[in-house]
């Protein structure tokens, strides 16, 4: 049986976690990133884990993305029951930045109690939550939830070191997702460097005339470019388009 | 160039003003003693206008920013319009020319159609990223008599293809069985969804919550009872029942036969019937392009285009609603369309300027 205190006492503990975090940064695709997630979870003593990336206040949950390293049957059930709409760990991560133990999460409904009970049956008897907020008021958040089937595994003093290590992993996974979503948006919306430049100039408060003067073109041409750009991004205005791009760190 | 494009887009943009027409016809009908106007428009005139307006274009227009702003504001304007219209109905029942007898029945049916179409506008607002628009959508649906739309609809999107939860109708299921099954489930799912949102926001009485929406519906009902007496009570009560029925009917039309009872990929593909009639799309704010909507729910109605491989119904929503009331007719109408789509998903059939697709399936 594994013991958290002995895991974090190992001289190579932080080194191992940092190596995984660096490898996540360089992961070229999802399968590789998931493989590294499993390795990272193992390094912090977890047997199961999930990483979720989502936009705060997204009522329809279109923005939710998951990496799962746990029982696939439970993952299917999690999705079918739409537990992501009521998950105490996601609710916590939407507003907090400090890691915490799963036992410290606020459980306020029968649905949440059912979710936690079911999670415990699938490897999350004891666990920790590592939020990964974004900088600059960005609305996309990330959260890593790590679990152990051993009761009280994360309730010991070793949690202090696991907090730091888990946070490192969570931040790298969050940044990995943001890079992927940026690439997806750039590909889907076929954004060019000129489009991004237009959005940046709009963010600086410039109107069509000023942008046209700067780019040595006409205001009508600038308007036309913005029309096509906001149509590709599916937003109503250039302000909303700039917000979408800024949220993903494209501008 | 921009002026030219602005003028060229005026027609397609102003077409969305059709959403106001049924409400205006309700008022005109009462004023001129022709309470049948809305019914005639929805079930006769609008379907026939397909020969004039034909299909939506294959891709959404690249709207000028001016038109995009106008179109984005249109649902908000409609919410104000419906509020004013509801107040007018209360005034008619309390102080104005109250309909009686057969006129009251026609007026009630016409008002029901207007309220049902209002849920399409509410649906658009529900999917917006702006919090204020989402709250407005929930209140609009509540005023129209269906306070659970904002919650059960998000649950519907979260469970695509799910026939056990009655999000999609089974292929062998009649409209009546589906409505009986779905109505209580829609309430249960709405309460669950609201409960989750309340937990997330630690506030059970937030403006966009289910309690507030139900309070709006019940409060409106109380107002109608107060100003219109027994007639007001019955009329608005009938709206609540009628709009509940119609929302489940529309869900039946949009997803019948496309669920996980017969299609293994139903959950991933989120299939839905798409009616490509231009006038229909204007009237329901793009809701008829339903598979596109499922795959990108937060895309604004004026940016939605039909999917090239979506299943297509053989006639307009209005006529399908009537056909669905008779299960045997429904199977005669829809089984060939479903069978055709399964055989040839890449070659969708649309009536174009014809009124229906019957006869096309046997030739295809």
Facing B297 at nearest CB: one of A62, A108, A111? A62
Q: Which of residues 126-155 of B touch A (CB under 8 A)?
A: 127, 131, 134, 154-155
The answer to whether residues A91 and B200 touch, using CB atoms and an 8 Å cutoff, is yes
Min Cα separation B194/chain A (Å): 10
The percent of residues above 70 in pLDDT, for chain B, comes to 96
CB contact under 8 A, A60 and B69: no
Among the partner residues B2, B196, B199, nearest to A220 by beta-carbon distance = B2
Give the CA angle between residues B137, B138, B142 to the nearest 5°. Answer: 115
Candidates B152, B167, B144; CA nearest to B210 is: B152
Task: With a cut of 60, say whether residue B343 has pLDDT above it.
Answer: yes
Average pLDDT over all residues of chain B: 92
Give the nearest partner residue to B154 out of A60, A94, A236, using CB atoms.
Answer: A60
Q: How high is the ipTM of this complex?
A: 0.82
Contact A236 B68 (CB under 8 A): yes
Whether the pLDDT of residue B1 is over 60: the answer is: no
CB neighbour class for A143 (10 Å; exposed up to 12, middle 13-18, buried from 19): buried
| Contacts B64 to A, Cβ<8 Å | 223, 227
* Residue B232 bridge partners (DSSP): none
Q: Which residues from B are below 8 Å from A109, CB to CB?
A: 195-196, 198-199
Question: What number of other Cβ atoms are within 10 A of residue B55's Cβ?
Answer: 17
Strand A126-132 and strand A100-101: pairing?
Answer: antiparallel
CB contact under 8 A, B62 and A220: no
Q: How confident is the model at residue B46 (pLDDT cuts 50, 70, 90)?
A: very high
Q: Cα separation of A42 and B279, whole Å?
A: 58
B301 touches chain A (CB under 8 A): no
Contacts of residue A227 in chain B, CB cutoff 8 Å?
62-65, 68
Show the 3-state SS of chain B: CHHHHHHHHHHHHHHHHHHHHHHHHHHHHHHCCCCCHHHHHHHHHHHHCHHHHCECCCCCCCCCHHHHHHHHHHHHHHHHHHHHHHHHHHHHHHCCCCCCCHHHHHHHHHHHHHHHHHHHHHHHHHCCCCHHHHHHHHHHHHHCCCCCHHHHHHHHHHCCCCCCCCCCCCCCCCHHHHHHHHHHHHHHHHHHHHHHHHHHHCCCCCCCCHHHHHHHHHHHHHHHHHHHHHHHHHHHHHHHHHHHHHHHHHHHHHHCCCCCCCCCCHHHHCCCCECCEHHHHHHCCCCCEHHHHHHCCCCCHHHCCCCCCCCCCCCCHHHHHHHHCCHHHHHHHHHHHHHHHHHCCCCCCCCCCCCCCCCHHHHC
Per the CB < 8 A criterion, the answer to whether A198 and A212 are in contact is no
> What does the pLDDT read at residue B40?
96
Least CB-CB distance to B2: which of A59, A224, A234?
Answer: A224
Q: Where does the pLDDT of residue B34 fall: very low under 50, low under 70, confident under 90, or very high at 90 and above?
A: very high
> Distance (Å, rounded) from C-alpha B333 to C-alpha A124?
51
Q: How far is CA B206 from CA A146, B129, B203, in A?
A: 33, 17, 6
* Chain A residue with Cα closest to B153: A60
Give me the pLDDT at residue B13, please.
Answer: 94
Which chain A residue's Cα is nearest to B193? A85
Backbone dihedral angles phi then psi of residue A71, each to the nearest 5 degrees: -55, 115
Could you give the CA distance from residue B74 to residue B240 in angstroms, rounded to a whole number? 25
Give CA–CA dist A8/A21, Å, rounded. 17
- State the nearest Cα–Cα gap between A159 and chain B, in angstroms: 26
A48 contacts A25 by C-beta, under 8 angstroms: no
Instruction: Give the residue numbers in A contacting B (CB under 8 Å), as ranges.
Output: 57, 59-62, 80, 82, 85-86, 88, 91, 94, 108-109, 111-112, 220, 223-224, 226-228, 230-231, 234, 236-238
Residue B30 scores a pLDDT above 70: yes
Helix, strand or coil for residue A214?
helix
Q: What is the pLDDT of residue A243?
A: 87
B196 and A228: CB-CB below 8 Å? no
Residue B125 C-alpha, separation from nearest chain A C-alpha, in angstroms: 12
| Model confidence pLDDT, tens digit, residues B261-296 | 999 999 889 999 999 999 999 999 999 999 999 999
pLDDT digits (tens, 9 = 90+) for B116-164: 999 999 999 999 988 899 999 999 999 999 999 999 999 999 899 999 9
How many whole angstroms from its chain centre is CA A60?
Answer: 17
Q: What pLDDT, on the 0 to 100 scale, is given for residue B364?
A: 58
What is the CA angle A211-A213-A216, rounded to 5? 105
Over residues B93-118, mean pLDDT: 92
Q: Do A86 and B65 touch (CB under 8 A)?
A: no
Instruction: Name which of B65, B158, B195 is nearest A237 (Cβ-Cβ).
Output: B65
Contact B272, B306 (CB under 8 A): no
- In the structure encoding, which two tokens stand for residue B148, read together? 């659970």
List CB contacts of B301: < 8 A, sequence separation 6 or more: B71, B75, B124, B285, B286, B287
Global pTM value: 0.90
Q: How would residue B358 be classed by pLDDT, with cut points 50, 70 and 90?
A: low
* Residues of chain A below pLDDT 50: none
On whether the CB atoms of residues B81 and B20 are closer than 8 A, the answer is yes
The packing angle between helices B175-201 and A110-121, to 10°, is 90
pLDDT computed for residue B185 by the predictor: 95
Are the beta carbons of B63 and A231 separated by less than 8 Å? yes
Q: Are A231 and B62 inside 8 Å of each other by CB?
A: yes
């Amino acid at each position: 049986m594994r013991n958290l205190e002995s895991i974090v006492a190992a001289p190579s503990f932080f080194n191992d976690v940092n190596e995984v975090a660096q490898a996540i940064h360089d992961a070229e695709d999802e399968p590789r990133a998931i493989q590294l997630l499993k390795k990272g979870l193992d390094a912090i003593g977890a047997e199961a884990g999930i990483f979720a990336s989502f936009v705060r206040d997204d009522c329809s949950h279109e923005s939710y993305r998951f990496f799962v390293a746990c029982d696939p049957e439970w993952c299917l059930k999690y999705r079918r029951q739409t537990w992501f709409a009521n998950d105490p760990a996601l609710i916590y991560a939407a507003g907090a930045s400090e890691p915490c133990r799963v036992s410290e999460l606020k459980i306020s409904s029968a649905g949440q109690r059912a979710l936690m009970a079911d999670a415990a049956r699938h490897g999350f008897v004891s666990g920790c939550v590592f939020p990964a907020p974004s900088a600059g008021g960005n609305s996309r958040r990330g959260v890593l939830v790590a679990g152990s089937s051993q009761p009280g595994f994360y309730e010991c003093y070793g949690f202090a070191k696991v907090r730091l290590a888990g946070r490192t992993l969570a931040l790298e996974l969050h940044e990995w997702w943001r890079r992927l979503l940026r690439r997806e948006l750039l590909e889907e919306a076929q954004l060019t460097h000129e489009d991004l430049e237009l959005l940046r100039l709009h963010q600086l408060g410039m109107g069509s005339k000023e942008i046209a003067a700067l780019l040595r073109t006409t205001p009508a041409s600038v308007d036309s470019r913005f029309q096509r750009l906001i149509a590709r991004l599916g937003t109503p205005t250039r302000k909303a388009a700039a917000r979408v791009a800024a949220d993903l760190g494209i501008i | 160039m921009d002026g030219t494009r602005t003028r060229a887009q005026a027609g397609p943009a102003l077409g969305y003003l059709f959403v106001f027409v049924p409400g205006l016809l309700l008022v005109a009908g009462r004023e001129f003693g022709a309470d049948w106007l809305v019914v005639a428009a929805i079930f006769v005139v609008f379907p026939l206008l397909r020969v004039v307006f034909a299909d939506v274009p294959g891709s959404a227009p690249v709207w000028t920013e001016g038109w995009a702003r106008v179109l984005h504001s249109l649902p908000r304007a409609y919410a104000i319009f419906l509020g004013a219209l509801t107040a007018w109905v209360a005034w008619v029942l309390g102080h104005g020319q109250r309909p009686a007898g057969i006129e009251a029945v026609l007026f009630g049916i016409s008002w029901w159609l207007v309220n049902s179409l209002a849920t399409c506008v509410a649906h658009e607002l529900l999917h917006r990223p702006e919090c204020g628009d989402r709250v407005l959508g929930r209140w609009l649906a509540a005023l129209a008599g269906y306070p659970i739309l904002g919650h059960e609809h998000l649950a519907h999107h979260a469970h695509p293809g799910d026939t056990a939860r009655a999000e999609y109708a089974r292929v062998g299921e009649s409209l009546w069985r589906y409505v009986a099954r779905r109505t209580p489930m829609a309430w249960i799912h709405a309460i669950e969804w609201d409960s989750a949102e309340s937990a997330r926001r630690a506030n059970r009485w937030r403006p966009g919550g289910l309690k507030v929406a139900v309070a709006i519906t019940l409060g409106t009902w109380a107002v109608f009872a107060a100003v219109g007496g027994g007639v007001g009570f019955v009329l608005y009560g009938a709206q609540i029942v009628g709009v509940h029925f119609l929302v489940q009917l529309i869900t039946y039309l949009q997803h019948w036969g496309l669920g996980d009872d017969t299609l293994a990929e139903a959950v991933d593909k989120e299939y839905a019937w798409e009616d490509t009639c231009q006038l229909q799309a204007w009237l329901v704010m793009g809701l008829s392009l339903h598979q596109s909507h499922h795959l990108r729910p937060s895309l604004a109605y004026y940016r939605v285009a039909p999917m090239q491989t979506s299943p297509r119904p053989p006639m307009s929503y209005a006529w399908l609603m009537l056909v669905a009331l008779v299960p045997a007719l429904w199977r005669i109408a829809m089984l060939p369309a479903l069978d055709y789509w399964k055989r040839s998903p890449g070659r969708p059939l649309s009536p174009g300027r014809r009124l229906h697709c019957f006869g096309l399936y046997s030739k295809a």
